[in-house]
Structure 1
Amino acid sequence: MAASTYQPEEEPKSKSLLSGHSETELEPGLNNVLEQKSLRWIFVGGKGGVGKTTCSCSLAILLAKQRENVLLISTDPAHNISDAFDQKFSKYPTMVQGFGNLYAMEIDPTVLDADEIPNDALGDDSSGLSGLAKELLSDFADSLPGIDEAKSFMQVMGLVKELQFSVVVFDTAPTGHTLRFLSMPALFQKGMGKVTQLKSQFGSVFDQLLPMLSTGSGDDGSFRSKMQESMPAIEQINEEFRDPDKATFVCVCIAEFLSLYETERLVQELTKLNIDVHNIVVNQLLNPEQDEHGQIVCKMCSSRHKIQSKYLEQIHDLYEDFHITECPLLTEEVRGREKVESFSKFLLGTNSK
């Protein structure tokens, strides 16, 4: 799919929100995702604040009704799926209350804090400078390219491989973090190259740094050897991410300029990474009250409705070969299992008022 360059229109067009679609457009709704039983990896992402978590949780619920078991993973440091389901999740898969086959987890993409570094990693002659040394080594570890994403990626994929879920839904971080996550194998190789270069320059001093880069498995082997051992599995997952039969990306946006611009950037970058993307969810659309003459009662609502209509029209024009799903702005917060499950009907193309 070749993505075109986004150029905003000067004048709003007449398309109404939450209305029907032309015959040339693909059907709205994520039914195409639900019906593709070969999918194993589904990513949901977009600009911050557009409702990614609500959509990913709702999609996970729909999948749980059709698949044997489903895992929902938050890779966003903000971690909102606990708030969405009103249930605390951790870095280990936990069953979502009310479901027998839906699990959720929130991973922490940070590396070890300085206080977590074992004292013996610094050597016998570091007693007078241990605090400073720990801080410097921790800062240095953080600066290695891809280290934080590498830890997250290895943690997630290790669990997923072990537990064998039918499908995994990722509630992703904002665009930049997500693209790095999907580029993980390349980051691994870059990070390993940096480790090799620095090791040749600093010798035994650098050897003392490696223990603090442990993946947390309890193995005393070096970080580099663990990375090398993980590469075949990571490369296999990387191939699956780029297989449209096994992976797809669902973009979530709102009908505003900045969100549309970010969506176009995301679609183009995903295309460069050869990751399938053919679904866009346009969230938080106004459905304002009208009087008997069909005029919108609220002046502010009328103004916002015109803005959204303008950008919604552009979304349909720009992504005519995508499934475009329109979801309304609700009067209440979507929080708790029942409300999330209720919202999920909008992902099926049901734009009820």
Structure 2
Amino acid sequence: MSLPPLHTRHLFFTGKGGVGKTSLACASALRLARDGRRVLLVSTDPASNLDEVLQTPLGRTPTPVHDVPGLLALNIDPEASAADWRERAVAPYRGVLPAAALRSIEEQFSGACTVEIAAFDAFAALLAGRTPLPEIDHIVFDTAPTGHTLRLLALPMAWSGHLSTSTAGVSCLGPLSGLEQQQATYADAVRTLCDAGQTTVVLVARPERAALREADRSAQELAALGVRHQHLALNGVFEAHGDDAVALAMAARQAEALRGMPPALAALPRSAVAFRPCGLTGLAALRALIDDRAAPDAADAHAAITPCPPDGLRSLIDDIAAAGHGLVMTMGKGGVGKTTVAAAVAVALARRGHRVLLSTTDPAAHLAWTLEADALPGLTLARIDPAAEVEAYRAQVLAEAGAPLDAAGRALLEEDLRSPCTEEIAIFRAFARTVDAGREGFVVLDTAPTGHSLLLLDAAEAYHREVSRTQSGRLPEHVRALLPRLRDAAWTRVLIVTLAEATPVHEAERLQDDLRRAGIEPWAWVINQSLLASGTRDAVLRQRAAAEVPFIDPVRRVAARRSALLAWQVRAPVGVAALAALAESSGAAAPD
């Protein structure tokens, strides 16, 4: 097993949260430096832990990595970049425009698109060679720009001065209205991304069905934008040795996922990295990964392990059921099992006799696969279909806001409606309608990965401005009621789902902080897929189980008001019977 090949000047490591992008990016940069290459490692992840992994304090300028000659690293902080971006956009108008106009401009630059574009601004300067750097052979990026950002930059009329003056107004394209001076830099950056001689995109995925589907979706989206030089890196490939039930089930499940890999993804060149029992933090662990050997100071497989907390989902579901109606949302990073937890809660509530709507806002939704074809009285399965919602929304806006426009204005509006953020607004409308169904029963909503979910929640404040622009200010009642409902603890219960690992827990903590700033108090945490709770006797998996303890304890003692710990399931939690068993669990015994 080995790391991806490293030939081009630019290397991007991208994939779902928690699949090991940072670990593989750092190990690859370290290997290049060891081979005598001059390397710059760059993180564009807002929750970057590059400092911790490399054991070097980093900032926004290239910093030499301690004890690794030839390796420099830096963090692009998207939030700080967005703050700088907003100030550059607003500063020229201070003292010139009235205060109300300044507030309007600041509002225009307050959305999630501004954060993406601001981060891309710093990223593009590096990629296009506009940032002064020491002599460098390779630039390794931990987290590439999203297809969302690239689609924004690809809209040709975005560079037109019409955007800043059009009476039709702007929505998500507002942040682009001041970017004309950067057009050449962005064009060079996009050309470099699409040049197979200069750039390789490494799609990092676990050998798991959901992760591979997400990697396939990303691969197709990037290919459609011209970024076709791609490599698949399978991380955490496990081989069972012995007769431990958990180990055998894990190996079998991975093998099945690989056999069912989407054909286009399977056709990509690939590499595989073996399952590591301990986290890849520190240079010694990274060097062990490069050499494909055991990390130093690995935990003793037979050491005593802290007993599992004796609580599962059952008590949480009992409390939810007592309310009789309302909204349950599962939130967290991609890949932590939000869909499984949402489906288990919905099945349990329906089996208690409640009327339940189980729906999702996740573009990579796989609720139907999780439930299989099983039917359960009282449970309705739905999905917010982005394509259908966008088409309906575009038609409505063109009919209402486009009617009085001339040909040029209508063309601009049509392009505005082709942008990715139009999808966010369209899905948001469906999200509000779905939440409204909680008046008559339970709505269990499997939300998309963290950033997408927060974008939906952030949109609650921006939505009224959008509706005013496109629909003459008519605000549907279910939209008007949404934010109060989300903030009402008697109506909404947010379950933050995480794994007992560093990145998912840190991201969940950030999510909790963001929700609280929005006036939404998380109701409980669910620590999913715990090997500590599984009872495994496999030597390698017991090492991983011991490594979970430092993350489980702080969650239970500090982060969560209430929590549940779910064991890694030998039987995949697919289908009503398996989901019901997971939902009714009250805990698991610790291994001896």
TM-score scaled by structure 1? 0.68
- Does the CA contact (< 8 Å) of 1:316 and 1:324 recur in 2? no
AA matched with 2:223? T
* Cα distance in 2 for residues equivalent to 1:259 and 1:72: 25
- Does the CA contact (< 8 Å) of 1:270 and 1:277 recur in 2? no
Indicate the RMSD between aligned Cα atoms, in angstroms: 3.5
* Number of the residue aligned with 2:139: 168
* Cα distance in 2 for residues equivalent to 1:125 and 1:279: 50
* Partner of residue 83 from structure 2, selected from 92, 104, 112: 112
Matches within 5 A, 1:313-352: 313-315=259-261, 319-346=265-292
* Partner of residue 73 from structure 1, selected from 42, 47, 53: 42
| Distance change in 2, residues 1:141/1:196 (3 Å) | farther
* Cα distance in 2 for residues equivalent to 1:69 and 1:77: 25
Secondary structure, aligned partner of 2:260:
helix
* Number of the residue aligned with 1:138: 106
Deviations 1:193-249 (A, max 9, x none): 4x633435499xx9xxx9xx89xxxxxxxx83xx33332232223222111111111
* Higher relative contact order (Cα pairs below 8 Å, separated by 6+ residues): 1
- Does the CA contact (< 8 Å) of 1:29 and 1:323 recur in 2? no
* Cα distance in 2 for residues equivalent to 1:115 and 1:233: 19
- Does the CA contact (< 8 Å) of 1:45 and 1:249 recur in 2? yes
Could you tell me how far 1:191 is from its partner in structure 2? 4.4
Shifted more, 324-333 versus 253-262: the winner is 324-333
| Distance change in 2, residues 1:316/1:231 (3 Å) | closer
* Partner of residue 200 from structure 2, selected from 242, 248, 267: 248
Secondary structure, aligned partner of 2:109:
helix
* Cα distance in 2 for residues equivalent to 1:125 and 1:135: 10
| Distance change in 2, residues 1:190/1:87 (3 Å) | farther
* Cα distance in 2 for residues equivalent to 1:102 and 1:329: 26
* Cα distance in 2 for residues equivalent to 1:235 and 1:186: 9
AA matched with 1:334? L
Secondary structure, aligned partner of 1:112:
helix
* Partner of residue 199 from structure 1, selected from 147, 165, 190: 165
Deviations 1:147-195 (A, max 9, x none): 333322222333562215222111116xxx52234446426x55444x6
- Does the CA contact (< 8 Å) of 2:219 and 2:265 recur in 1? no
* Cα distance in 2 for residues equivalent to 1:180 and 1:48: 16
* Cα distance in 2 for residues equivalent to 1:259 and 1:115: 35
* Number of the residue aligned with 2:56: 87
Structure 1 unaligned spans of 5+: 1-17, 19-27, 215-222, 291-295, 348-352
* Number of the residue aligned with 1:148: 115
* Number of the residue aligned with 1:59: 28
Secondary structure, aligned partner of 2:11:
strand
Q: Which has the larger radius of gyration?
A: 2
Please state if 1:97 is matched with 2:66: yes
Please state if 1:311 is matched with 2:257: yes
Secondary structure, aligned partner of 2:83:
coil
AA matched with 1:169? V
* Number of the residue aligned with 2:217: 265
- Does the CA contact (< 8 Å) of 1:29 and 1:324 recur in 2? no
Shifted more, 134-143 versus 51-60: the winner is 134-143
* Number of the residue aligned with 1:3: none
Could you tell me how far 1:83 is from its partner in structure 2? 2.3
- Does the CA contact (< 8 Å) of 1:149 and 1:181 recur in 2? yes
AA matched with 2:137? S
Secondary structure, aligned partner of 2:12:
strand
Secondary structure, aligned partner of 1:142:
coil
Secondary structure, aligned partner of 1:152:
helix
Structure 2 unaligned spans of 5+: 294-539, 541-592
| Distance change in 2, residues 1:181/1:89 (3 Å) | farther
Could you tell me how far 1:317 is from its partner in structure 2? 6.5
- Does the CA contact (< 8 Å) of 2:39 and 2:137 recur in 1? yes
Matches within 5 A, 1:159-308: 159=126, 161=129, 162-163=132-133, 164-172=135-143, 178-183=146-151, 185-186=153-154, 189=156, 191-193=158-160, 196-201=162-167, 224=178, 227-290=179-242, 296=243, 298-308=244-254
* Cα distance in 2 for residues equivalent to 1:106 and 1:338: 22
TM-score scaled by structure 2? 0.43
* Cα distance in 1 for residues equivalent to 2:136 and 2:151: 22
AA matched with 1:167? H
- Does the CA contact (< 8 Å) of 1:90 and 1:106 recur in 2? yes
AA matched with 1:139? E
* Cα distance in 2 for residues equivalent to 1:79 and 1:329: 22
State the aligned residue count: 284
- Does the CA contact (< 8 Å) of 1:29 and 1:346 recur in 2? no
Could you tell me how far 1:286 is from its partner in structure 2? 2.3
Secondary structure, aligned partner of 1:279:
strand
* Cα distance in 2 for residues equivalent to 1:190 and 1:79: 34
* Cα distance in 2 for residues equivalent to 1:334 and 1:279: 22
- Does the CA contact (< 8 Å) of 1:147 and 1:191 recur in 2? no
AA matched with 2:274? P
AA matched with 2:119? S
* Cα distance in 2 for residues equivalent to 1:119 and 1:246: 37
